[in-house]
Chains A and B, each alone.
Chain A
Amino acid sequence: MDRKSFGLSMEKGDLLPTILILPTLLIVLCFTIIPMFYGIYVSLHEYRLGGSLSSENLVGISNYVNAFKDSTTKKAIVNTVIFAVGCVAGDLVFGTIISVLLYRLKEGVQHILRPFMIMPLLVAPIVTSLMWTSLLDVNGVIYWALGKIGITYAQFKGVSGTSTALFCCITAHWWTNIPFVVIVLSAGLLCISEDLYEAAYCDGVGLMKTFWYITLPLLKSVYMTIILISGVDTIKSMDVVFGLTKGGPNNSSMTLNLYSYLQAFESGNMSYAMTLSVLTLILALVCFGIPFVRYNNRKRNQS
C-alpha cells in the first residue's frame, strides 16, 4: 500500500507523468534557466546597455577578477553576509520570544492577536522602506522617543552613521520578516504534544528548563527550514536597503544585490551588474541553498 504499488499501474513508455510536469518545466526552463545562462554569458563580455554583444567584447572572466579587486564589492559581500546573519538571528530570537508569548495565552486571545502580528508581512517592501524612512528621520518618532530616554543623535546616528546604517536596515527587515517566523513557529509549537509538558510539570521542571530542554530540540527542523528560506530571501532582498540608505553612507550598507542593481541602472555597466548578480546567486547557494537541499534529502531518506 505504498507508493511503489501505486506505480504498478504505470507501464513503460507511459507519458502522463511527463506531460504533467511539462508546463512547469517549460516555464522554468524558458523564463528562468535560459535567461540565467544568458546573464552568465553577458557577464563574460564587456557590455553596457546599448552597446553590442559580440565576440570583440568577450573578456572572459576579467569581470570577475575586477569584481574581486573592487573594494566596493568586497565591502558589499561582507555587508551582505552581516545583513543576512543579523536578520536571521534576530528573526529567530524575537520570533521565538513572540511565539512563546502568544502560545501561553488563551486560544481565543491568540486568534485575535495573531492577525496583527502578521500584518507587517503583507505590506509591500517599498511601502515598508517608506515607513521606516519617515520613522528613522532625525525629526521623526523614533528619535523623539529615544530623546525621552536620553539618547541623542550624536550618540546614535541612525541611517546617517557609517556604523549604524546597516543596523537600521536590519531592524526594518526584522519588522517585515518576524511575522513569518512567528507564524511558522506557532504552528510548530502547536505540534508539540501537551503530554510532554504535563510530564515536565509533574516532575516539577520550571518554565525556562521546559523550554530549553523540551521545546527547542523538537523545533529544530522548523528552525532549519526558517534559517534556510529566510537566509536566501535576505541575501536577495534589496527594496528595504534601497529605500532607506541606498547603500550609504560611504558604502556601509551596500549589499551585493543592491550594488548590482545600481551598476545596471545608474552606471549602465550591464556586464558588471550581471557578474555581481551571479556572485550573489553563488553566495546564496553556498550559504543557504545547498545545505537546505542536502538537509531535505536527508529527511526524505529518513521518512
Chain B
Amino acid sequence: MKKLLVVLVVMVLISGFVFATGSKEASAKSDVVVSMWTGIPREHLAKVQDTFPGSSNIIVDEVGYGSLKQKQLLSFQSAKGTSGNLDVVFVNGPWMSEFVNAGYLMSLDELAAAAGVDLDAYDSALMSNLTFNGKTYGIPTFLQCIVCAYDSNYFKENNIKVPTNYDELLALAKQLKAKGTGIAMPASQANGSYTTWSQLLYSADGYIVQDGKLDLTSDTVVASLERYKALTDNSCDGALNWAHEGVIKALQSKVAPLGLSMSGNNSYLHDPSASLIADSVRYFPLYGYGDTAAANQTYWVWAIPANCSDPKAAFEFIAWVTSYDYEKKATLDSYSISGLTALAEDKEVVSKVPFAGVVMEAFSNGKPDPINPNFDSLKSKMNALLSGVAASSKPNFKALLSELQSEYGAKW
C-alpha cells in the first residue's frame, strides 16, 4: 500500500516535470522568437505571424514595458540555443549603448549587405546613434515624442486659438486651470515627466552634458525647470500621479481638453470605442521655448542578440518589418511613425496621420538622451526631483540640481 502510494507520487512528479519542461514539438519551420512590447498599437504587429512571407515561423513574445528590459537581459545571458531564447529584440533606443557595450547584440552590417538592405534609407541622425565602433547594431522604428493633443470642438466652442509658442501655451494652460480643468501632463514619478522636461530643455538648445561633463546647474537647465514648474502648476488635478496612460484617459474622457500625449499612444485617442474625442482630436507641437519644439528623440530599435542561433532568419524578419511597404501600411493603420526618411514625405501618410508632421518637425530639432552607464540611475533620480518640484510650492531649483550634480558629476 505504502509502496504503491510512493510509486504514484513519483509518477505524478515525473510526469509534471516532463509536461512542464518539454513541449519541444518538432516544428516544420524553424522558429524566430521576437521580443515585443505590448504598448505598440495592436494592429501594428497582430497579424505578423500570418503575413510574414519568409520561411520562418514567427513567434511574438509580448510583455509590458516594465518587464521588457528584464526579459531581454535575462534572455541575453542564457546559453545559445536555449528554447525560448529571443532571436529578434525590440529595444528602446537608450538601452542600445548598454546592450552593445556588454556585448549582447550582433552587428547588422554584413547581414544587411547580404540581404541587399540599404541602411542609409533610415534617418541618419538616429542611425549615427546606433553605430558603435563603426558598426551598425540596429534599425530604428516607431519614433515618438510628446506632442500637444487637443479637442478641436472645445477650442471652437470657447473661441480658443491654437498656441504658436511657449508663452501662449502657458497662458492657455492658465486659462484652462481657472476654468477648473487644466493641461493634462504625465507629471508622476515616472519617465513621462523626464521626457516632458527634457523636451522643454532641448527646445532652448540646452543639454545636461556639456563637453562630455555632466552640467545640471547651468542657467538653461534651471530655466527649463522653471518652465516645467509653470506648466505643472496649471495641470489637471491628479496629474501628479499620471503616467502616459493617465493623460490619454483624461483626453479620452474629456476631462482635459488639452494634453501632452506621447505620440505613440495617439491611436487610442482616435478609437471611437474608447475615446469621446475620436472625431475632434487635433495636434500641435509642444513649444518648449519660444516657438521651438524639440523632441526627446524616443525611438525603438530592431536588433539581433549575440546568442541568436539563426541570424539570417532573424534579419530576414527585420528587413521585412522595416521595409517601405510594411512601414507605410503600419503607419496608415495604427498611426505609428517609422524611421524611414522617405515615408515622412509620402502624401498619403501626411494626410492620414495628422501628427506625423508635428513629430518629424520636433525630431529635426531634437536630441537623444545622453549615453552613459549612469544615465538610467540619474534619470530615475531626476524623475523623483521633477515630481518633487511639481509637488512643492516654492522649490529651490538650484539647490536640488546641485545636489544631484554633486552625486553624479564625478562618476559621469
Contacts and interface: CB of A to CB of B under 8 A. Distances in A.
B238 A138 contact: yes
Interface in A265-296: 265-269
Nearest to A266: B380
Given A162-B391, A248-B190, A138 B384 contact: no
Interface in A235-265: 245-252, 262, 265
Given A160-B238, A248-B189, A251-B189, A49 B388 contact: no
Contacts of A154: 237
Contact of B377 (A138, A159, A246, A269): A269
A48 interface: yes
Contacts of B276: none
B255 A249 contact: no
B104 A50 contact: yes
B351 interface: no
Contact of A50 (B76, B250, B388): B76
Contact of B380 (A49, A138, A250, A262): A262
A244 to B, nearest CB: 8
A17 interface: no
Interface stretch (B41-49, B63-71, B212-220): B63-71
B240 A51 contact: no
A131 B143 CA distance: 32
Contacts of B381: 72
A201 interface: no
Contacts of B104: 50
A265 B249 CA distance: 27
Interface residues of B, number: 38
Interface in B253-272: 253, 255
A165 B381 CA distance: 19
A267 B377 contact: yes
A255 to B, nearest CB: 13
B408 to A, nearest CB: 12
Contact of B73 (A49, A137, A138): A49
Chain A contact-residue range equals 20 to 34
A249 B377 contact: no
A125 interface: no
Given A158-B238, A160-B239, A265-B69, A251 B102 contact: no
B55 interface: no
Interface string A130-167: 00000001110000000000000110011111100100
B391 A250 contact: yes
Contacts of A247: 189, 384
A159 B241 contact: yes
Nearest to B235: A160
Contact of B255 (A139, A153, A251, A265): A139
Contacts of B250: 139
Contact of B237 (A138, A246, A252): A138
A138 B387 CA distance: 18
Contact of B388 (A137, A157, A159, A249): A249
A293 B98 CA distance: 45
Interface string A20-62: 0000000000000000000000000000111100000000000
A51 B391 contact: no
Given A49-B73, A51-B102, A262-B380, A250 B238 contact: no
B376 A250 contact: no
Contacts of B391: 160-162, 249-250, 252
B390 A249 contact: yes
Contacts of B99: 50
A38 to B, nearest CB: 15
B197 to A, nearest CB: 14
A139 B246 CA distance: 11
Interface centre among B67, B189, B250 (most CB of A within 10 A): B189
A133 to B, nearest CB: 9
B188 A246 contact: yes
A249 B380 contact: no
B5 to A, nearest CB: 14
Nearest to A252: B391
Contacts of B238: 137-139, 153, 158-160
Nearest to A163: B391
A267 B374 CA distance: 9
B341 interface: no
Given A51-B102, A265-B69, A248 B376 contact: no
Contacts of B373: 48
17 contacts: A49-B77, A50-B76, A50-B99, A51-B102, A139-B255, A157-B240, A160-B237, A160-B240, A160-B242, A247-B189, A247-B384, A249-B387, A249-B390, A249-B391, A250-B384, A250-B392, A262-B380
Given A49-B73, A251-B387, 4 more contacts: A138-B237, A160-B241, A161-B240, A248-B241
3 closest A-B pairs by beta carbon, nearest first, are A248-B189, A138-B238, A160-B240
